[in-house]
A and B are shown apart, each in its own frame.
Chain A
Amino acid sequence: DAKTTQPTSMDCAEGRAANLPCNHSTISGNEYVYWYRQIHSQGPQYIIHGLKNNETNEMASLIITEDRKSSTLILPHATLRDTAVYYCIVREETSGSRLTFGEGTQLTVNP
């Protein structure tokens, strides 16, 4: 699986959009970009994933650059409950593929 690079930590004001970047310059054509988050002492929570196109769901939006070498997770209106570690993961399309977690970005939403 391709390696991802994320900032170690970010801060965001409550009510503002949180934009979390991720670099995956070695991504191949059959690899998905996944985002998960882990709130302290809880299991990893799925947020969103995409292959080539931008995606949006009730939690967030995923913007993937045209060359697919980077992506941005957008939480449109961050709340205090969005404080968590956010993981950007590249995952192969093939059977038997896994999620390989890195260190992620610690997002802190401030009041």
Chain B
Amino acid sequence: DTAVSQTPKYLVTQMGNDKSIKCEQNLGHDTMYWYKQDSKKFLKIMFSYNNKELIINETVPNRFSPKSPDKAHLNLHINSLELGDSAVYFCASSRDGTGGNTIYFGEGSWLTVV
């Protein structure tokens, strides 16, 4: 009964392909996030949704498009994959987006673009 679950855990794909990473949380939280951890191990926020509404959109190429069909799911779709997109992508959630509510992370999805 993992709280924040992501699929797939590992993904190897060729440049130019389109791929999606799915995320689901069973915590009843209203806010969900996508973070990216690159090869230098820096964790950076990409997007945040609150009740299916986009509230944070960092400087991310528009090839990345998050989709939230309901507040328990936040999927990440990536078009025209590039070598530089290789990274670990972490989904996370919190009760709401305020600072006093803890953000819980999934186990990550390892994306390798070849």
Q: Which of A37-93 contact B (CB under 8 A)?
A: 38, 41-46, 49, 51, 85, 87, 91-93
Given the complex, which residues of B lie within 8 Å of A31, measured CB to CB? 99
Give the interface residue-count category, chain A.
20 to 34
Contact assessment for B42 and A101 in the assembled complex, using a CB-CB cutoff below 8 Å = yes
A46 touching B56 in the complex, CB below 8 Å, given contacts A95-B96, A100-B45 = no
Q: Does B64 contact A (CB under 8 A)?
A: no
Contact assessment for A32 and B105 in the assembled complex, using a CB-CB cutoff below 8 Å = no
Contact assessment for B97 and A97 in the assembled complex, using a CB-CB cutoff below 8 Å = yes
Give, as a whole number of angstroms, the nearest-CB distance from B54 to chain A.
11
**Complex alpha-carbon distance, A31 and B103, angstroms:** 15
Contact assessment for A99 and B106 in the assembled complex, using a CB-CB cutoff below 8 Å = no
Q: State which of A95, A96, A99 has its C-beta within 8 Å of the C-beta of B103.
A: A99
A46 touching B98 in the complex, CB below 8 Å, given contacts A96-B48, A99-B45, A101-B44 = no
Contact assessment for B98 and A93 in the assembled complex, using a CB-CB cutoff below 8 Å = yes
How many B residues face the partner with a CB closer than 8 A? 25
Contact assessment for A32 and B107 in the assembled complex, using a CB-CB cutoff below 8 Å = no
**Complex alpha-carbon distance, A87 and B105, angstroms:** 14
A-B contact count (CB 8 A): 61
**Complex alpha-carbon distance, A43 and B109, angstroms:** 10
* Residue in A41, A99, A103 with the greatest tally of chain B CB atoms within 10 Å: A99
Given the complex, which residues of B lie within 8 Å of A94, measured CB to CB? 98-99
**Complex alpha-carbon distance, A31 and B42, angstroms:** 22
Q: Does B66 contact A (CB under 8 A)?
A: no
Given the complex, which residues of A lie within 8 Å of B100, measured CB to CB? 32, 49, 51, 93
Residues on A close to B: CB < 8 A? 30-32, 34, 38, 41-46, 49, 51, 85, 87, 91-101, 103
Q: List 19 A-B contacts (CB under 8 A).
A: A30-B99, A31-B99, A43-B90, A43-B106, A43-B107, A43-B108, A44-B92, A46-B105, A51-B100, A93-B98, A95-B50, A96-B56, A98-B33, A98-B48, A99-B45, A99-B103, A100-B45, A101-B42, A101-B44
Residues on B close to A: CB < 8 A? 4, 33, 41-45, 48, 50, 55-56, 90, 92, 96-100, 102-108
